[in-house]
Chains A and B, each alone.
Chain A
Amino acid sequence: MVISKIEHNGFLYFDVHAEQSYTGSFLADTGDANNNICEGIYGSELTAETLRNITDEVALYKGKTIILDFSKIKDVQSNLFNTLIEIKEHSELLVLTEVSAHIVKKCNLGIFDQNKPGEGGNFESFVLSRNIQYITLKDTNELFYEHFSTLLVDCTITNEGEDAFRHNSPVYVPKFIDIKGMMTNDSNFYLYILYRLALSIKEKFAEDGSGAQPILFCQNLNGAYNAAILSRFLNYDLLSMDHIGPVNKVYSSIGNKIKEEARYIVISDVVCLGTEIKICQNIINYSGGRYIGNASIVKIETLKKEHQDNDSVSVFKITKENNPIEFKIVTALA
């Protein structure tokens, strides 16, 4: 199983570090009860198991150009040459992108000597072919957001009339972003979405000088799913709080679970007006913890840039300029 595969115009793109993170988080553990193995997103060495997973996936296709994006991969396990050649044989063409000279050498790929390194000796793209090939690659970020947008549109539900009423906020929202639908429709790609969210969380919240890792805080089923996966990718603790959401319930035992001075990130599915985030923030701070921000799959930017809080990360932002689902918020005044 792979998580980052995106098919586009006869090309199959794989994010090798995402695949390595999936292997390291979910497959590498041997089942020894005394030893938990979870490398998460921190591993930067490509293992044979990960490349084998990619190979098995590629073998399901014929005649595709395979793009393996090696960004964030700093080393590889020994003896991967044969597996790479196997991928090459299953494909029309095999291209490694953002690959270092060290990896090329370690994989014994020097025979493909028509590839020329860029500045610093690394390869922006490395084609496993003895002939010079001219191909145009799509930007992988752009590709990801295109794929995400398609899934988002497919999983947006239109709520007319009374159904548009949101019980936890005093507004009407005619479009419902069905995050659970995204997960169930394409669970592998959804893991990739969470991998990317994990990278953003690490970049924004990881360091505060204390050395203590933040704790992921969730309060509904979608948030719990996201937080459980993120917990493995990030190696962060996780606290579930059942169930603040639609009915705004706060149970009496709630304060017992918050650690004093610990830093909490609220994990959510969609942040719209931020009502639930505010509730979580209040609970965390009131109980002695420190709310440091929130992370979501989709964030609706309802405010102008200068008024936005700088405490959130999300995979996808819906803004005035970027609104593929025509999301809008309505009040009875409109």
Chain B
Amino acid sequence: MPNKIIIHISDLHVSRHVDRNGDVQKRIGSYLTTQAEPSENESYIDQFCKFLQYKFKDAEKILFISGDISDQGYPEEFAAADVALARICEKLSIDKTNIVMVPGDHDINRLAVETAYRNSDKKKKAYLMNDVKYNEYGTFYKSFIGEVFDPAKVICRILAMEEEKLLIVGLNSNGKVGAESANGFIDHQLLKMELDDIIKDYRDYTHVAVFHHNLEGQYEDSLSGQWDAKNKVDIIQIFEEYKFNAVFYGNEHTPASNTRNQLSYISATSFAKNNVSPGFRVYEINSDDGALRLKNRRYNLINDGAKTGKSFGNWSETDFLGGNENLQDIVLRDPLPKEPIQPAVDLFGIVDSKIVNEAVVPEQEVESAENVVTHGEKYERPTAQPQIDFSPNVYHDKIFKIVKENKYFVSGHFHWSDSSKAHNWINVPLFLSDRENLSLAQKAIFDVVQRNTLQFDFILGLGIEGNILATYTASRTGKRYSYLPYSYRYQDHAVYEKDLHIENVGEFKRILVITDVINNGKTVERLIEAEKGFFKEDIIESIDVVSLFYTGDPIANPLNQNTDTRVQNYFVSHMKVEKCPYGNDFRETCMIYREKLDCVHEFYDAGKSSQSSK
């Protein structure tokens, strides 16, 4: 029996039982309604509490409520919700300080906002009229939680669990919800400011967030979730920058649990809507040995139609694995290392934030690193204070050390083409020429595949090094495999080398591409363009790209920003290379090239168009 659990409910949609004329509605969308007599609310809540007490009697309970508590934001809906939620807290002995509750788009009384906007001078957008927008929710919040809800802030709740070193941040994602429904939106600059203010007190905590709108969708074509596409990129970058490990949300009424680039996305279904299978989640907290894991349990109402039971059915645990649900354990933190880890310094002299040990790194060094960070060299920005970060990336640490010690990261002018030239290069062929390194790199790729629970039915090795790296994952998983040269080098290869040899008639929907280096993602975009016959838009559901090195600039040109494609990029190790900043006149203006100050490599016949070899 766990000592502590988190109960996650969402999308209660407590609904009015009468229409606007005052007539009783024939059909109400939620099991929780405003009807006083006869009301099923009590029995619905009591059955839920009885079930949880039976399962987790002695566990301390924390409650997540991720929005859409009411259906239309009416006062009577909130009044009924207040009674129902208070009953849950009473029956399960949940302290109000242990509740993280955030508003959803249905918690806004849009009719009231529309009226207020119509009667206003229209200088302020309807979704910015916070007083009206959160009037009912604020009243309910004060009554239920006992605190004032501040609509001006995007962080509306924090819960710090000291024993587990876990900081839970509740966010208001209703930024653009007003008189009209809208996708999720959080002012990212405001979020950064508020996080800067809060997180300084919780530097050694693991961070997770709770909000309403789904950051990933299980239905939309773009998988971008119901979130403003541009804002989503900004928000995910902030989650990466501030080292959030998991996000919890609702909105879509569809349970899902997946990991992408070390961020776990957990979606809860509706707690009480009667047109879906209502459900909730319980996360059992396990914090042995400094690790922090959440055992992810899911429960649903099962209705067998028997007249002898409640009309809504009975709660039952649901087994899952596959499809939308892939995380039985949500790993927030790995165990503490048994021995102190020595600090590592990266190629730019930056103390690596991933393996800094507070005892051995002077603060000054880290501050000087911060100055460099502003140029964007580091994907994970070190903070001003040294901190122990247990992000699970042992492979990066080892690979980085090998690259550094063997000087595989080299400087000079490296000329891939007149439009693609850089002043650094990672000598991947030489790195892979040692079988220990090769084995490490192959395993690192497979580790990324596993940690992110990538689902795929076909593997493609891209380029010679990508092909070498991919053989391990291909042979280990037994999935269909083929390889291709980089599309910009098609001219250099024999006709049969650049043929996939496999036709895609619908058998391969989820593709895993493995390559050695990714910079801005354009290479894979070109691949998809060149192989349209295989990557058919009506067939392909996902293209996950895993690379050993990511050499791009995550600030100026982040990966995964194109939400219209099915492409998601993953990588083992980030080592940014500097691009040659000069244009077509680089032969005169690039001093390295002109004066041959350092090595100059013209890999692909600089200045010449490639000639067909076949």
Supply 9 A–B pairs (Cβ within 8 Å), ascending by A.
Answer: A31-B450, A184-B482, A184-B501, A187-B474, A225-B461, A227-B468, A232-B439, A232-B472, A246-B614
A187-B480, A247-B492 known; A33 and B497 CB under 8 Å?
Answer: no
Query: A33-B443, A240-B429, A253-B599 given. 13 additional CB < 8 A pairs?
Result: A26-B475, A33-B447, A36-B440, A178-B496, A184-B501, A184-B502, A191-B475, A221-B483, A224-B483, A246-B613, A246-B614, A249-B492, A252-B601
**Closest beta carbon of chain B to A135's beta carbon, Å:** 30
Is B395 engaged at the interface, CB distance under 8 Å to the other chain? yes
Report how many A-B pairs have Cβ atoms within 8 Å: 142
Question: Please, which residues of chain B bring their CB within 8 A of the CB of A256?
Answer: 430
Is A16 engaged at the interface, CB distance under 8 Å to the other chain? no
**Closest beta carbon of chain B to A155's beta carbon, Å:** 9
Among B430, B435, B603, B614, the one with the most A-chain Cβ atoms within 10 Å of its Cβ is B435
CA distance A245 to B438 in the complex (A): 23
Interface set of A (CB-CB < 8 Å, partner B): 1, 22, 25-27, 29, 31, 33-34, 36, 38, 157, 167, 176, 178, 180-181, 183-185, 187-188, 191, 215, 218, 220-222, 224-225, 227-229, 231-232, 235-243, 245-247, 249, 251-253, 256-257
Q: Is the CB of A228 within 8 A of B394?
A: no
Q: Which of B469, B471, B496 contacts A180 (CB 8 A)?
A: B496
Question: Please, which residues of chain B bring their CB within 8 A of the CB of A227?
Answer: 468
Q: Nearest 10 pairs between A and B by C-beta?
A: A1-B478, A228-B471, A33-B394, A228-B468, A184-B501, A36-B439, A26-B475, A246-B613, A247-B613, A224-B464
**Closest beta carbon of chain B to A306's beta carbon, Å:** 32
Question: Please, which residues of chain B bring their CB within 8 A of the CB of A228?
Answer: 438, 467-469, 471-472
Q: Is the CB of B492 within 8 A of A225?
A: no
The A interface is mostly helix, strand or loop, or mixed, namely mixed
B436-495 contacts to A, CB under 8 A, are 436, 438-440, 443-444, 446-447, 450, 461, 463-465, 467-469, 471-472, 474-476, 478, 480-485, 489, 492-494
Question: Please, which residues of chain A bring their CB within 8 A of the CB of B229?
Answer: none
Q: Is the CB of A238 within 8 A of B394?
A: no
Question: Please, which residues of chain A bring their CB within 8 A of the CB of B478?
Answer: 1, 188
A180-B501, A184-B480, A228-B471 known; A239 and B429 CB under 8 Å?
Answer: yes
Question: Please, which residues of chain B bring their CB within 8 A of the CB of A187?
Answer: 474, 480-481
Question: Please, which residues of chain A bring their CB within 8 A of the CB of B602?
Answer: 252
Among B446, B450, B471, B472, the one with the most A-chain Cβ atoms within 10 Å of its Cβ is B471
Question: Please, which residues of chain B bring their CB within 8 A of the CB of A235?
Answer: 435
Among B430, B469, B494, the one with the most A-chain Cβ atoms within 10 Å of its Cβ is B494
CA distance A183 to B502 in the complex (A): 11
Is B329 engaged at the interface, CB distance under 8 Å to the other chain? no
A33-B440, A38-B439, A245-B494 known; A221 and B613 CB under 8 Å?
Answer: no
Question: Please, which residues of chain A bring their CB within 8 A of the CB of B496?
Answer: 157, 176, 178, 180-181
Q: Is the CB of B601 within 8 A of A251?
A: yes
Q: Which of B440, B447, B501 contacts A181 (CB 8 A)?
A: B501
Q: Is the CB of B433 within 8 A of A257?
A: yes
A31-B450, A180-B497, A225-B483 known; A26 and B472 CB under 8 Å?
Answer: yes
Among A183, A221, A224, A253, the one with the most B-chain Cβ atoms within 10 Å of its Cβ is A221
Is B432 engaged at the interface, CB distance under 8 Å to the other chain? yes
**Closest beta carbon of chain B to A297's beta carbon, Å:** 14
CA distance A187 to B499 in the complex (A): 16
Question: Please, which residues of chain A bring their CB within 8 A of the CB of B444?
Answer: 33
Q: Is the CB of B443 within 8 A of A36?
A: yes
**Closest beta carbon of chain A to B602's beta carbon, Å:** 8
Among A157, A180, A235, the one with the most B-chain Cβ atoms within 10 Å of its Cβ is A180
Q: Is the CB of B497 within 8 A of A222?
A: yes
**Closest beta carbon of chain A to B480's beta carbon, Å:** 7
Closest A residue to B396 by beta carbon equals A33
Is B398 engaged at the interface, CB distance under 8 Å to the other chain? yes
CA distance A221 to B490 in the complex (A): 12
**Closest beta carbon of chain B to A252's beta carbon, Å:** 6
**Closest beta carbon of chain A to B571's beta carbon, Å:** 16
CA distance A220 to B496 in the complex (A): 12
Q: Is the CB of B434 within 8 A of A221?
A: no
Q: Which of B430, B472, B494, B497 contacts A257 (CB 8 A)?
A: B430
Q: Is the CB of B464 within 8 A of A221?
A: yes
Question: Please, which residues of chain B bring their CB within 8 A of the CB of A180?
Answer: 482-483, 496-497, 499, 501
Question: Please, which residues of chain A bring their CB within 8 A of the CB of B395?
Answer: 33
CA distance A1 to B398 in the complex (A): 31
Q: Is the CB of A257 within 8 A of B429?
A: yes
Q: Is the CB of A238 within 8 A of B613?
A: no
Question: Please, which residues of chain B bring their CB within 8 A of the CB of A181?
Answer: 496, 501
Question: Please, which residues of chain A bring their CB within 8 A of the CB of B476?
Answer: 26-27
Question: Please, which residues of chain B bring their CB within 8 A of the CB of A225?
Answer: 461, 467-468, 471, 483
**Closest beta carbon of chain A to B429's beta carbon, Å:** 5
**Closest beta carbon of chain A to B573's beta carbon, Å:** 12
Q: Is the CB of B432 within 8 A of A238?
A: yes
Closest B residue to A256 by beta carbon equals B430
Q: Is the CB of B436 within 8 A of A238?
A: no
Question: Please, which residues of chain A bring their CB within 8 A of the CB of B494?
Answer: 220, 245-246
CA distance A178 to B599 in the complex (A): 39
Closest A residue to B600 by beta carbon equals A252
Closest B residue to A253 by beta carbon equals B601
A31-B447, A235-B435, A238-B433 known; A246 and B492 CB under 8 Å?
Answer: yes
Question: Please, which residues of chain B bring their CB within 8 A of the CB of A231?
Answer: 435, 438
Q: Which of A38, A232, A239, A249 contacts B433 (CB 8 A)?
A: A239
Q: Is the CB of B438 within 8 A of A243?
A: no
CA distance A261 to B440 in the complex (A): 26
CA distance A245 to B464 in the complex (A): 13
**Closest beta carbon of chain A to B464's beta carbon, Å:** 5
**Closest beta carbon of chain B to A87's beta carbon, Å:** 20
CA distance A180 to B498 in the complex (A): 10
**Closest beta carbon of chain A to B31's beta carbon, Å:** 45
Scan B382-394; emit 1 where CB is below 8 A from any A CB, else 0.
Answer: 0000000000001
**Closest beta carbon of chain A to B214's beta carbon, Å:** 31
Q: Is the CB of A167 within 8 A of B613?
A: yes
B74-117 contacts to A, CB under 8 A, are none
CA distance A218 to B481 in the complex (A): 19
A167-B614, A235-B435, A237-B433 known; A243 and B501 CB under 8 Å?
Answer: no
Q: Which of A191, A238, A245, A257 contacts B435 (CB 8 A)?
A: A238
Among B429, B430, B432, B464, the one with the most A-chain Cβ atoms within 10 Å of its Cβ is B464
Q: Which of A36, A167, A185, A251 contacts B436 (CB 8 A)?
A: A36
CA distance A251 to B476 in the complex (A): 33
CA distance A220 to B599 in the complex (A): 25
CA distance A192 to B446 in the complex (A): 22
Closest A residue to B451 by beta carbon equals A31
CA distance A132 to B443 in the complex (A): 48
CA distance A148 to B552 in the complex (A): 45
**Closest beta carbon of chain B to A235's beta carbon, Å:** 6
Among A184, A185, A241, A251, the one with the most B-chain Cβ atoms within 10 Å of its Cβ is A184
